[in-house]
Chain A
Amino acid sequence: MLSETLQLACTDATPQFFGLFDTSVAPPLLFYAYIPIALISLVVGIFIFIKDVKGRSNRLFFLLAASFTLFIFNETQLWISVPAALVYFGWSLSLLLLLYIHFFSFYFAYSFVYGRDMTPFVKVVIFCIASPVILLLPTKFNVSIFDLDACEGITGGLWYYYYFVSCLTVTALIGLTLTTIFHRIKVQDRSSKKQSVYLLVATAVFLTIFSASYSFGEITGAFEINLVGPIGMLFFIGVLAYLIVQYQAFDIKLAATQALVATLIIIIGSQFFFVESSVNQVLVGVTFTIACIGGYFLVKSVMREIKQREQIERLAKDLAKANKRLRELDQLKTEFVSIASHQLRSPLTAIRGYASMLVDGDFGTFPEKARDALMRIDESSRFMAISIDDFLNVSRIESGSMKYEISNFSLADEISRLVDDLRPAAVKRGLVLTYSSKAETDTHVSADVGKLRQVVQNVIDNAMKYTPKGKITVTVADDAKAKKVRIIVQDTGIGMSEETAAKLFGKFVRASNANTVNVHGTGLGLYLAKQMLEAMHGTITASSEGDGKGSTFTIELPLAH
């Protein structure tokens, strides 16, 4: 037994525990202040390390937590050991562990803030600063002599050097904090800058409280002051937990919750060893059970939240991929339509030209039957040319290459002229096409005359196509208050349902009853009209009282200033 081989014992204690320790000589606060904090830091350190064993900051935090825990257990051993040799052994290790705590605190803060390793130069500088402690550690400059009466080591001059090193570390951390606040460090974004500042301040506060309490304790000999030291670590862990929860630092929300719950249960469970009265034991038992149940549900809810977040992230990623692919396909389709339309248009121009000349008799007269066939060729090629133009326009709009030549002109005059131009075609179909102006003011608009004519012509053409008999009225009216002018095209045609009216301006959309009166049509005319009007800050709407009750198309444009 170790207790039998050790001859020298501290005079103020009597061995109780394994013949080596006397817990009665230590202040009761020691067990509440030291052990739980050491356990919390070790558990958090392990969880952070397990999350990413290769992460630099994770490794460094684990080493810091391990050094701190070792130091705390060494300190506890110093308080309760009875053999002088064990106490001396603890004293000789203290300085080294303190040095490790300072080194890993700074290294961890540096790695967290910069997101990279320290440069070899910084490492060499730190090594040079620490080298006196490393070289003189086994000498009497560390622990000079042992006071058997007081059961404590008499510290050597090396400890004063350590006080200087601790001041240096805190100063360096303050310097890093100020540099981060004043933008000299390139941090990724605002939130990571905030994280860096919080962590640096927490590290500086931890080391200040920790070092100051131990320094005062050692210098004054009032070792009870040392008990305040670990509170700094508690503050540090608290800030780290805040960063984990608020900013997903280390991406270990679940691990941190599990660590917190495990620590809480360990702390509450450890109370069983200290409380003596049965009432207190029952109270601890109840608290322990509540902590276990609450902890279970807390971990479960965090797991669910993380699972949902991961699912959403995965879906968003898939959606973004699909969206990108769709855009590519759409672009390819637009390019294909554009190329194909251009290739079709050139020969079609020749077909239309020659067909027209043949119908007009430029190449001599034809029998009535042949003339009829030629007229059909002419008419079909005209429809085909319109369809190709529509395809080309859609492709131009979607690729953003449609050009608009904006000018100021009187809308009422332009629409009046257009209606006059279209009237013969209406008459040919047995329809009445009328125009009226209800404008009370000047109807000047800023738009592309050609495109607007094309849009209105398209709407009137549609009205003619889908009105087997009756009339079409075109009205221009202004709304001076809203600074807008409207073109209303009303017919007595086949009408449409409310559902059809709502989706009429979509690509390749035709009214369900359209084929009953007009087999031609690509379903692009109104889509193009809407796109062109929107580009000119206008709108187009359709309404109908129902099938067979006619339709009304309203085009609205802002009045020119």
Chain B
Amino acid sequence: MTLKKIIDVSLIVVLGGLFLLTTVVSWYRLVVHEDFTYFTSEEDVPDRFDFSTY
């Protein structure tokens, strides 16, 4: 297998795999388990989240 072919296959695996992984993991974590940090007003922002950095 040439270097070009290795790079091409890696690229397809990474791009395709990443999309699938992100979709599945995000769906499982966010939609199935509703596992995410949220706030309703600025006072509710959790302590561990430094809002000013973003």
Contact = CB atoms under 8 A, between A and B. Distances in A.
Interface in B1-51: 3-4, 7-8, 11, 14-15, 18-19, 22-23, 25-27, 30-32, 34, 36-41, 45-46, 49, 51
B30 A89 contact: yes
B37 A145 contact: yes
Interface in A315-363: none
Nearest to A104: B15
A429 interface: no
A145 to B, nearest CB: 5
A132 interface: no
B16 to A, nearest CB: 10
Contact of B19 (A11, A88, A96, A147): A96
A137 B18 contact: yes
A84 interface: yes
Nearest to B50: A144
Contact of B49 (A86, A144, A148, A149): A144
Interface residues of A, number: 35
Given A6-B34, A123-B11, A93 B3 contact: no
B19 to A, nearest CB: 6
A154 B51 CA distance: 9
B40 to A, nearest CB: 5
Contacts of A84: 34, 36, 38
Given A86-B31, A138-B22, A100 B39 contact: no
Contact of A147 (B15, B34, B38): B38
A127 B13 CA distance: 12
B54 A144 contact: yes
A95 to B, nearest CB: 9
A88 B30 contact: yes
Nearest to A154: B54
A120 interface: yes
A155 interface: yes
A148 B18 contact: no
Contacts of A92: 22, 26, 30
Interface in A144-158: 144-149, 154-157
Nearest to B18: A134
A120 B1 CA distance: 14
Nearest to B11: A123
Contact of B27 (A11, A89, A145): A89
A85 interface: yes
Contacts, number: 80
A88 B25 CA distance: 13
Contact of B22 (A2, A96, A127, A157): A96
A440 B38 CA distance: 114
Contacts of B18: 96, 134, 137
A2 B34 CA distance: 12
A471 to B, nearest CB: 89
Contacts of A144: 49, 54
Interface in A76-132: 83-86, 88-89, 92-93, 96, 100, 103, 117, 120, 123-124, 127
A8 interface: yes
A512 interface: no
A188 interface: no
Contact of B31 (A85, A137, A146): A85
A382 to B, nearest CB: 77
A220 interface: no
A441 interface: no
A145 B45 contact: yes
Given A96-B22, A120-B3, A155-B54, A148 B39 contact: yes
B8 to A, nearest CB: 8
Contacts of A147: 38-40
A456 B3 CA distance: 77
A145 B22 contact: no
A6 B33 CA distance: 9
B24 to A, nearest CB: 11
A148 B40 contact: yes
B33 to A, nearest CB: 9
B40 A11 contact: yes
A93 B22 contact: yes
26 contacts: A2-B31, A5-B32, A88-B30, A88-B38, A89-B30, A93-B22, A93-B23, A93-B26, A96-B18, A96-B22, A120-B3, A120-B4, A120-B7, A123-B8, A123-B11, A134-B18, A137-B18, A137-B22, A138-B26, A145-B39, A145-B45, A145-B51, A147-B38, A147-B39, A149-B40, A154-B54
Which 5 residue pairs of A and B lie closest in terms of their CB atoms, listed nearest first?
A146-B38, A89-B30, A85-B31, A148-B40, A120-B7
Given A123-B11, A154-B54, 18 more contacts: A85-B36, A88-B38, A89-B27, A89-B30, A92-B22, A92-B26, A93-B22, A93-B23, A134-B14, A137-B18, A138-B26, A145-B39, A146-B39, A147-B39, A147-B40, A148-B38, A154-B51, A157-B53
